[in-house]
Structure 1
């Protein structure tokens, strides 16, 4: 199954990739020549997230991938996401906590662990994965219960949760850490409840009920 040319503008994809690549080079220079190392690490981390998100979508969800699958702009939730990043930048610039390198190192490991879990989730779910909650079952939809889905019912959400929380730890942003946990709890608790209602009532019925009995969500606090 190939991507739909009507959904993926290659020119747009090229310019987004070119811009991200150029800015990444600037980030690498700034990492060694500026006094804002934490801020540069945030920018690098976000670029890795955007690129891996598009790569995963293009590789494993060709039916649904679009030019906007970088998740930088043009999708639901962008405004909230960028408000969270703006608050993150403010705390980095006025960080009263100083630098705890051990906390930062642990945060970096959590960030990339989260991205890897999300990568596996999108790969293993394949065309059944979508950035938007599906409301109509299509022939290619199937319930995936193996791999990372045998550990968590929503590993892509778990991966994003770890990525977001790990980023704040990496930056020693303890105020935004608390804020992000609260926002993610509100967002994911509502999204998971709605999505699982759809999965039971519109998609897989008893099969999903049995799966839910066996496997938890295992997103910290949400569980």
Structure 2
């Protein structure tokens, strides 16, 4: 059964999504195309939504509700941008939907499988300063290139390949989270909990670190989706270096937790990440 936090996030996300989709479609049928007018309308309703949430919820509940609502708004705006923006901007709307759903689903997954561990950090919005800088850099590249070379942002078949990579990575990551259940954590654990078991079935029979594999290809997929030729290799290298270090540290911990059982598992199943072997005794 979904936790209280999961129910709150679900309601906040989908109510905001529905309201802003309705506003967006009303603007479409009213032929409101001026950017300044649309920006004012969406900004006003966003502020009103946040004020309403502040009256309805307090403390941690407000923090969860406002984040989930904002992600629902971003998803709705993504759909709006995809439908009405100029041809060379439309793929950014798809990207907005991908990003909003990823961060929302991260929270929901943790709220379901680890209700005692869930917090606002479970949205992984503030994953790290590097993550934020990388995201902003990719946005800057997209809009600079879309202004200077609008045609390069209209290769939709290639952008769709990126979308498929994002979907595949998202599905794999969430499958790994639900397969691991209470043994899954966003952070590497230094102490073994009572319910922490070695999971080797399902997607873990294919990859030792399926959640990292999913996130790795999801990350690269976002830059293919945006048709960002500069950020694409940069994301690939940065993600690879991050997961190489993360897998190495995590496997030391897992060997301490599970000993020979994990050694045997290493012999049978690879990490799933290209040219990353992990830590071996």
Match of 1:192 among 238, 247, 252: 247
Q: How many residues align?
A: 217
1:13 and 2:13 are equivalent in the alignment: no
Match of 2:85 among 14, 34, 53: 34
- Distance, in Å, in 1 between the alignment partners of 2:274 and 2:141 is 24
1:90 and 2:140 are equivalent in the alignment: yes
Aligned 8 A contact 2:80 2:93 in 1: no
1:181 and 2:231 are equivalent in the alignment: no
Question: Residue 67 of structure 1: CA displacement?
Answer: 2.3
Aligned 8 A contact 2:77 2:93 in 1: no
Q: Could you say which structure has the greater relative contact order, defined with CA pairs below 8 angstroms and 6 or more residues apart? A: 1
Structure of greater Rg: 2
Question: Residue 130 of structure 1: CA displacement?
Answer: 0.6
- Distance, in Å, in 2 between the alignment partners of 1:51 and 1:87 is 22
Q: Deviations over 1:186-218 (max 9, x none)?
A: 1111111111011112x0011100000000012
Question: Residue 162 of structure 1: CA displacement?
Answer: 1.1
Residue 146 of structure 1 corresponds to 201
1:155 and 2:210 are equivalent in the alignment: yes
1:218 and 2:272 are equivalent in the alignment: yes
Question: Residue 27 of structure 1: CA displacement?
Answer: 2.5
- Distance, in Å, in 2 between the alignment partners of 1:30 and 1:2 is 32
Residue 130 of structure 2 corresponds to 80
Residue 45 of structure 2 corresponds to none
| Range that drifts further, 59-68 or 178-187 | 59-68
Question: Residue 4 of structure 1: CA displacement?
Answer: 9.6
Aligned 8 A contact 1:2 1:63 in 2: no
| TM-score (ref. length: structure 2) | 0.72
- Distance, in Å, in 2 between the alignment partners of 1:20 and 1:110 is 21
Aligned 8 A contact 2:158 2:224 in 1: yes
| Range that drifts further, 148-157 or 181-190 | 181-190
Residue 70 of structure 1 corresponds to 123
| TM-score (ref. length: structure 1) | 0.90
1:46 and 2:99 are equivalent in the alignment: yes
Question: Residue 118 of structure 1: CA displacement?
Answer: 0.4
Please list every run of 5 or more consecutive structure 1 residues that lacks an aligned counterpart in the other structure: none
- Distance, in Å, in 1 between the alignment partners of 2:177 and 2:116 is 13
Aligned 8 A contact 1:38 1:92 in 2: no
Question: Residue 62 of structure 1: CA displacement?
Answer: 1.7
- Distance, in Å, in 2 between the alignment partners of 1:38 and 1:50 is 19
Give secondary structure in 1 for the equivalent of 2:122. Answer: coil
Question: Residue 13 of structure 1: CA displacement?
Answer: 1.3
Aligned 8 A contact 1:31 1:37 in 2: yes
| Range that drifts further, 86-95 or 140-149 | 86-95
